[in-house]
A and B are shown apart, each in its own frame.
Chain A
Amino acid sequence: MKILRYLIQKEFIQILRNKALLPMMTILPIVQLILLSTAASNEVKNVDIVIVDLDQTESSRLLKRKIIANNRFSLIANPFSTKEANQFLQANKADIALVIPNDFEKDFLRREKPSLQIIANAINGQQATVGSGYLSNIIYSFNENLIQEYIYLQALNKKQKENPIQIVPRNWYNEELKYTHFMAPGILAELTALLTIVLSAMNIVREREIGTIEQINVTPIKKWQFILGKLIPFLCVGIVLLVVGILTSKIVFDIPIVGNVGLLFGYAIINLIAVLGLGLLISNFANTQQQAIFVAFFFILIFILMCGLFTPIDSMPKWAQYFTIPNPLAQFVSVSRKILMKGSTIWDIRFEIFYTIILAIVFNSLAIWSYKKQE
């Protein structure tokens, strides 16, 4: 135990003395947290649209006004032909074109199924599908009003509603569906994992490159002491980053903290131990820092893409969902969301805890085992 203390003390002195690295471990992740949480939203707030009005009637102008009045749409131009509209799409100046054909109003009045055409630039998937969804909704309500007005004029008002069912959605835990509430804890988990895995993966290799590891290997120090001596300091770095990150998210984004913060940090410690174990394991298999980074980066990328932050795990194919079990980041995202937003208890996150403990044990045992004092 005493020996461990000296190892940890040394590591801390080195971390705190590194003037170049220190701001990168503290300020930069927090700045990133704020920027990225703001940016990471699938919400489509702005759709650039061009409207081709071939009808030029009262109704078509009314529809156009309705669309412009919606603040999600920016009208870019009023081209005179579909061909011209396509050019806007081709130059990526517009996401969507709406074409109002020239007998739109006439068809409506004659009850001959009026039609409209939406042309969406489907390369930008979200912009196109969500945008045309918004647009359809506007058109439907416009249609409804128009029909009501028409019926009123015809004095044929029926009492019965044609569509009795009304869907009343309520979004629990996040009434307004704020993306930052969902993203900030996830991005924080991601940044912390990224930072700790890179630092730990590079650390042992760095000692190997400089040659100091030889000097430690000729001492009677135990392998687990050495690994723990590397793990604990970076664990502290990770925890500090998490605490500051949660505070920042609370202050800047006002994220909800419904559940027990102690439980969250308790889990975070297990999770970080698992992540650090992987980092140390990687470093045991690398001769240069470059190699360590490459391997670490490869894992990080897969972890990030498959952690459920950017795309839901539930929509992955079944086999891929199993791959998220050994992904500490996916477990962390799930737990942070549950505890912070839903106030879940330790029983609700028992599986995550179980899997993470297994990961921590496996990665760290492998790290200790693969650390060779002798060639």
Chain B
Amino acid sequence: MRIENKNIIEVENLTKKFGDFTAVNAISFTVKKGEIFGFLGANGAGKTTAMRMLIGLSIPTSGTGKVANFDIYKEAEKIKKNIGYMSQKFSLYNDLTIRENIRFYGGIYGLSKSEIKQKTEKILVDLDLKSVANKLVDSLPLGWKQRLSFAVSMIHDPEIVFLDEPTGGVDPYVRRQFWETIYDAANQGRTIFVTTHYMDEVEYCDRVSIMVDGKIEALDTPKNLKKQFQATNMNDVFLKLAR
């Protein structure tokens, strides 16, 4: 079994306020090791803010949280060693080649030279990018960039990978392909935490939480959620909740 009965993320009453505005309102949940955990919500529902608190980019206003057994307040830097992150904005350097990007990120995660070499080979072979390894990242099509970006985010073999709307702006076929690589990563024992607003993608997740206006309104497997809301697909579930 892929999923182990061990919590790798534990969050309680996590809150983030920007002035008067409460972006994330006392959310609580746990994620099990090896799970593909979906975070669903409309734009502005607070998904990204919640995720940024977990990965140490944003300090919570209140509440507690543990990621990979480290406290999100005090041990943010330790968390960073154990997680990978792929942001909404494409975050590889367009003016570096594919090989240079891999080397750079490997380097700043503190990998040794031989490890970087080995990782580079693996990524280039896995993604079939060998022939363009010395081309600027800028010249790649978006779908390829995203897959490369995902691979690079796992260069230091993190336990958990956070994906913030990883498939924005690409067609369904490419999205499908991307999800296959997510499954591959999960099968290697990694926990996947993914935000999205595509309903079809939600079906691929083990469990889904649905955020509306900063609160988690529902959290369960897609199957149970459909049952609970007497809906035929996740879209209906979402519409019922959002209303």
Whether A associates with B in a native complex is yes
* Chain A positions near chain B (C-beta within 8 angstroms): 2-3, 5-7, 9-10, 13-14, 17-18, 210-212, 214-221, 373-375
* Chain B positions near chain A (C-beta within 8 angstroms): 52, 55-59, 76-78, 80-81, 83-85, 87-96, 100, 103-110, 153
Minimum distance in angstroms from B212 CB to a CB of chain A: 23
Which of the residues A2, A7, A9, A211 comes within 8 Å of B89, measured between beta carbons?
A211
By the criterion CB–CB under 8 Å, are B107 and A6 in contact? yes
Which of the residues A7, A10, A221 comes within 8 Å of B93, measured between beta carbons?
A10
- B104 contact set on A, CB distance < 8 A: 6, 9-10
A17, A212, A219, A221 pick with most chain B CB within 10 angstroms: A219
24 residue pairs from A and B, CB less than 8 Å apart = A2-B107, A2-B110, A3-B108, A5-B107, A7-B108, A10-B93, A14-B93, A17-B95, A211-B87, A211-B91, A215-B92, A215-B105, A217-B56, A217-B57, A218-B80, A219-B109, A220-B77, A220-B109, A221-B108, A373-B57, A374-B57, A374-B76, A375-B57, A375-B59
Known: A211-B89, A218-B55, A374-B57. A18 touches B95 (CB 8 A): yes
By the criterion CB–CB under 8 Å, are B80 and A214 in contact? no
- B100 contact set on A, CB distance < 8 A: 10, 13
Known: A6-B107, A220-B80, A374-B57. A215 touches B96 (CB 8 A): no
Known: A10-B93, A220-B81. A214 touches B107 (CB 8 A): no
By the criterion CB–CB under 8 Å, are A215 and B76 in contact? no
By the criterion CB–CB under 8 Å, are A13 and B57 in contact? no
When C-beta atoms are compared, the residue in chain A nearest to B156 turns out to be A219
Which of the residues B57, B81, B96, B109 comes within 8 Å of A10, measured between beta carbons?
B96
A212 to B85, CA, bound (A): 12
Q: Given known contacts A210-B89, A215-B153, A375-B58, what 5 new A-B pairs fall within 8 Å (CB)?
A: A212-B93, A217-B57, A218-B85, A219-B109, A373-B57
By the criterion CB–CB under 8 Å, are A3 and B110 in contact? yes
- B105 contact set on A, CB distance < 8 A: 215, 219
Minimum distance in angstroms from B220 CB to a CB of chain A: 29
A212 to B106, CA, bound (A): 15
A3, A18, A210, A374 pick with most chain B CB within 10 angstroms: A374
A228 to B35, CA, bound (A): 39
A374 to B76, CA, bound (A): 9
A373 to B153, CA, bound (A): 18
By the criterion CB–CB under 8 Å, are B107 and A3 in contact? yes
A221 to B106, CA, bound (A): 12
A3, A217, A218, A375 pick with most chain B CB within 10 angstroms: A218
By the criterion CB–CB under 8 Å, are B56 and A374 in contact? yes
By the criterion CB–CB under 8 Å, are B80 and A14 in contact? no
By the criterion CB–CB under 8 Å, are A214 and B95 in contact? no
- A6 contact set on B, CB distance < 8 A: 103-104, 106-108
Minimum distance in angstroms from B60 CB to a CB of chain A: 10
A211 to B56, CA, bound (A): 16
A221 to B104, CA, bound (A): 12
Which of the residues B81, B87, B103 comes within 8 Å of A214, measured between beta carbons?
B87
- B103 contact set on A, CB distance < 8 A: 6
Known: A218-B80, A374-B57. A14 touches B96 (CB 8 A): yes
When C-beta atoms are compared, the residue in chain A nearest to B80 turns out to be A220
Minimum distance in angstroms from B3 CB to a CB of chain A: 25
- B109 contact set on A, CB distance < 8 A: 219-220
Known: A6-B103, A214-B87. A14 touches B108 (CB 8 A): no
- B80 contact set on A, CB distance < 8 A: 218-220
Known: A219-B80, A220-B80, A373-B57. A212 touches B91 (CB 8 A): yes
A17 to B96, CA, bound (A): 9
A308 to B149, CA, bound (A): 51
Minimum distance in angstroms from B84 CB to a CB of chain A: 8
By the criterion CB–CB under 8 Å, are A216 and B56 in contact? no
